[in-house]
Amino acid sequence: MNIFSRLGEFLLMIKGMFTKPEHWRMYWKELMHQCVELGIGSLGIVSIISVFIGAVSTLQTAYQFVSPIIPRSVIAQIVRDSVILEFAPTITCIVLAGVVGSKISSELGNMRVSEQIDALEIMGINTKAYLILPKIIAALITIPLLVIIAMTLGIWGGRMIGDITGILPHEIYDRGLLDAFVPYNVTFALTKAYTFAFIITAIPAYFGYNVRGGALEIGRASTTAVVTSCIMILLADYLLAAILL
Amino acid sequence: MIQVENIKKGFSNKTVIEDVSATFDTGKCNLIIGASGSGKTVLMKCLVGLLEPNAGDIIYDGTNFTQLNADHKKIMRRKIGMLFQGSALFDSMTVEQNIMFPLDMFTHQTKGEKQKRVDQVLDRVNLSEAHKKSPAELSGGMKKRVGIARAIVLNPQYLFCDEPNSGLDPQTSLVIDKLIKEITQDFNITTVVNTHDMNSVMEIGDKIIYMYQGKKEWEGSNKEIIFSKNERLNNFIFASEFLKDAKDMRMLEVKGKIQNDRDMDKLLNS
């Protein structure tokens, strides 16, 4: 199957999701379930990564800034902007592409192979709408929130490590955070977060939903889904930066 | 009653079903039998709408299923229950939740009413104690029975069973066969069973369709099958010497040459 056939199939899948739900309450329940699975379930890994990224950014920036002419508060500015513009949305979403993407792909793939999707179809349920749409909406709700948490924790991680190591006292760090702050950067980061949220759920859902075969194919689909999602995130990252900055 | 008229189905350049016509009667167990690759699973998937036939019509009690639009097909499917080969139970749900799922999705009953219905169908399949178990905790036979319970919970008019006995021991297979037969008669529904199991053929086959290389090769009942002169059918059904002997014995029984309740000890010692 060539790339255009896949793209066509992907677009048809997206189109197929938009039908009237058979029972609103069941869809709402599934949406809430997915919010917990994708959002709360990823909170731990996102928190750990963010704190360490902030901490490492502070250390590495301080390491490179040896000139006495440059004020130390600039380190905080650089950490803040790096975390907001790139680390929090992009790195977090690349990690989530692995965690969430493989989960979605293998879950749907397993449902396909074990005929659970067929069972839902026989009942008269639109499986694209019931199984895929709640995952995408849940990601669009929770991933931007996770990115905001990642921004906060990343900046806090940098502050904490500056204090602990004595490289940058928190009074100077806090001053640096407020210097030349551009609120648009947060808007830009959230735009990226929404775009990436769609990518890391829709692409794995496509690969998982269309699995044919057995356990081996589920594994392959999962790997392809994660690799494709990561590439698409990087591509979207570049395009958004080129267009919006 | 389900009528199948000149169904054709192929994938790429390979024809899997070629011009099959058949009628599946209400209140009877209609069996589709055939060797692997004969097209019986594809035929069943066409019947329930999981596959779109290339040509032909599928008519459910006067309604042409193949010509319905997607929305009407969805409504029609609510009259259909299906037991899958691997049971297809939802892993993340308990037995009770699995059975309650169609009720939650398609009815506006109160929780008490739904619970009552779940209890009824679980009683019907003799699994009253399995409410809170997860599918992983069930044996193969129990999974099939939960699958049947889920398939009948919305009172379907049509029941499809894809190899209901695969992977089961002979005794459990009998239990499943008996259950399918009873449900068909009790609720007067049209049941279509896709099977390899020769015991099922002889026990519950009110109407049997034998598929050979994508075509309908033979049609009849379990009474007629033992007298069939169709060589392909006989080679398939009575493949072993043991089954050939069993067939001969059954023919003699039906013709009244030997007694059905014969005393084998007496015969062997005489």
pLDDT at B122: 92
pLDDT at B238: 83
Return the number of CB contacts < 8 Å for A and B: 55
Range B57-82 average pLDDT: 90
B50 and A116 within 8 Å at the Cβ level: the answer is no
Asked if A122 reaches chain B (Cβ–Cβ under 8 Å), the answer is: yes
pLDDT tens-digit series, residues A17-27: 998 888 899 99
Interface with chain B: mutation pick from A123, A125, A127, A212, highest number of B CBs within 10 Å: A123
pLDDT tens-digit series, residues B176-192: 899 899 999 989 999 99
- Say whether pLDDT at B90 is over 90: yes
pLDDT at B246: 81
- The residue of chain B nearest to residue A117, with distances taken between CA atoms, is B88
- Say whether pLDDT at A232 is over 80: yes
Interface with chain A: mutation pick from B12, B73, B105, highest number of A CBs within 10 Å: B105
Range B101-112 average pLDDT: 92
pLDDT at B226: 82
pLDDT tens-digit series, residues A143-182: 999 999 999 999 999 999 999 998 889 999 999 999 888 9
- Each domain of chain B, given as residue ranges in start order, spans 2-239, 240-270
Asked if A179 reaches chain B (Cβ–Cβ under 8 Å), the answer is: no
pLDDT at A19: 87
- Say whether pLDDT at A1 is over 80: no
pLDDT at A103: 94
Q: Residue B29, SS3?
A: strand
- Say whether pLDDT at B152 is over 80: yes
Q: Could you tell me if residue B68 is left (phi over 0), alpha (psi between -120 and 50 degrees) or otherwise beta?
A: beta
B88 and A118 within 8 Å at the Cβ level: the answer is yes
Range B138-155 average pLDDT: 91
Non-local CB neighbours of A4 within 8 Å, separated by 6+ positions: none
Residues comprising chain A, all counted: 245
Euclidean distance between CA atoms B21 and A160, whole angstroms: 76
- Say whether pLDDT at B202 is over 80: yes
- Say whether pLDDT at B267 is over 80: no
pLDDT at B230: 87
- Say whether pLDDT at A66 is over 90: no
Between B266 and B15, name the one with better pLDDT: B15
Global pTM value: 0.87
A116 and B91 within 8 Å at the Cβ level: the answer is yes
- Say whether pLDDT at A70 is over 80: yes
Give the residue from A16, A177, A239 showing the smallest Cα distance to B74. A16
pLDDT at A48: 95
| Residue A172, both tokens | 């100077």
Check whether domain B2-239 has CATH 3.40.50.300, yes or no: yes
pLDDT at B167: 82
Asked if B102 reaches chain A (Cβ–Cβ under 8 Å), the answer is: yes
Range B160-166 average pLDDT: 90
Range B63-68 average pLDDT: 91
Q: How confident is the model at residue B265 (pLDDT cuts 50, 70, 90)?
A: confident
Q: Angle formed by the axes of helices A133-165 and A73-82, to 10°? A: 170
Q: How far is A128 from chain B (nearest CA, A)?
A: 14
Between B260 and B182, name the one with better pLDDT: B182
Euclidean distance between CA atoms A150 and A48, whole angstroms: 9
Non-local CB neighbours of A227 within 8 Å, separated by 6+ positions: none
Q: How far is A244 from chain B (nearest CA, A)?
A: 41
Asked if B159 reaches chain A (Cβ–Cβ under 8 Å), the answer is: no
pLDDT tens-digit series, residues A48-59: 999 999 999 999
Q: How confident is the model at residue B198 (pLDDT cuts 50, 70, 90)?
A: confident
- Partners of A118 on chain B (C-beta within 8 Å) are 50, 84, 88
A116 and B85 within 8 Å at the Cβ level: the answer is no
pLDDT at A89: 94
Mean pLDDT is lowest, of A167-181, A203-217, B252-266, for B252-266
pLDDT at A2: 83
- Say whether pLDDT at A113 is over 90: yes
Percent of chain A with pLDDT over 70: 100
String of DSSP letters for A193-240: HHHHHHHHHHHHHHHHHT--SSHHHHHHHHHHHHHHHHHHHHHHHHHH
| Residue A72, both tokens | 């130390």
Contact B150, B99 (CB under 8 A): yes
Residue B133, classified by CB atoms within 10 Å of its CB into exposed (0-12), middle (13-18) or buried (19+), is: middle
Which DSSP helix (H) or strand (E) runs through B212? strand B207-212
Q: Residue B207, SS3?
A: strand
Q: Could you tell me if residue A181 is left (phi over 0), alpha (psi between -120 and 50 degrees) or otherwise beta?
A: beta
Q: Residue B75, SS3?
A: helix
- The residue of chain A nearest to residue B108, with distances taken between CA atoms, is A23
